Amino acid sequence: MIIDMKHKRISVAPMMDWTTRDYRYFARLFNPHVWLYSEMVSTGAILHGDRTRHLDFDASEQPLVLQLGGADPTELAACSRIAQAHGYAEVNLNIGCPSDRVQHNKIGACLMAEPELVAECVYAMRQAVEIPITVKHRIGIDHLDSYEHMLNFVDVVAQAGCTHFVAHARIAILKGLSPKENREIPPLRYHDVYRLKAERPHLLIEINGGISTVADTIEHLQHTDGVMIGRAAYHDPYILAELMRLWGDTPPDRFMILEQFYPYVQARLAEGLPMGLITRHILGLFQHLSGARKWRQALSGGNAKSFTDLEQAAQVMRQRLAENSAVSAGLD
């Protein structure tokens, strides 16, 4: 099915420890159209930490968004200027993460209770840069879980000039649930995000949460401006290739993607990066195919120590799929 994607958007969610520069380089090989996000980076890490480690990226990752965590307008403005200077296409403010660690630092979903402060942050960020400033948020938190509360939050922040909101279609329960449980236990309320778009048609509304298939994506695009895919894009990255059909393009072959990734792997190994830190991001390449388990085993648990190990695992996988294809042809 071809959808008019001119004014639609598909993105891969920011995920701590997962959407690293190595994963993003790999993900870009599946689809040139999707928007990629950094892991969330706190303002303190940028202003006082190893800025190169947190911000460097390969030009091929574009369009790329830096997600910031923070609640100080001055610091967020400064970090937005740094992001723009580094070449990021957008900056996104995290108002969605429910973890205790970020709450302690007044970052993430807890800020949904303070829309005026978020608006102040967004205003300062927008005044500091020319690139777009967007907000990722939940549909509510704790007892502030009604549609009306979310609508008020969006309206207040929109008055500060934000026109693009990414809504995770679950509330966040800030006391008593872990981040993992907050991705699973609160029910998905997609209709709240659809309603938000219907009632605020001038805003760009992107939906996130529990989206794992091409069919899911197509359905949500009927009601919103964009779809953000999270863990499915990490565990089964070929979904990004399958989504190429929405732009009228043919999905690339898995082995072609892998071969395009080889020079990057060799370059990173030459920099001293351990092989396991690279291969952990490509374990899902053959998800749902025969032999996928053997592929994962070959590349995890310290089993892959060299580039040759990766090549050998790929050759075994290629032979396995060829044998299966021959058997299927014989049955026909």
Which residues are the active-site residues? 97
Helix-strand-coil split of the chain, %, nearest 5: 50, 15, 35
The CB-side HSE value for 261 (13 A sphere, CA atoms) comes to 26
Q: What are phi and psi of 40, to 5 degrees?
A: -65, 135
The closest of 248, 253, 207, 209 to 232, measured between CA atoms, is 209
C-alpha–C-alpha distance, residues 169 and 139, integer Å:
6
Number of residues in the chain:
332
The CB-side HSE value for 307 (13 A sphere, CA atoms) comes to 14
Q: Around Cβ 289, how many Cβ atoms within 10 Å?
A: 15
Q: Around Cβ 12, how many Cβ atoms within 10 Å?
A: 27
The closest of 271, 306, 284 to 53, measured between CA atoms, is 271
The closest of 297, 320, 321, 323 to 309, measured between CA atoms, is 297
The CB-side HSE value for 158 (13 A sphere, CA atoms) comes to 17
CB 108 within 8 A of CB 98: yes
Q: Could you give the strand order of the β-sheet that contains 90-95, starting from the edge strand earlier in sequence? A: 9-12, 226-229, 204-208, 164-172, 133-141, 90-95, 64-69, 36-42
- 3-class secondary structure, 22: helix
C-alpha–C-alpha distance, residues 301 and 23, integer Å:
18
DSSP class per residue in 67-126: EEE---HHHHHHHHHHHHHHT-SEEEEEE----HHHHHTT-GGGGGG-HHHHHHHHHHHH
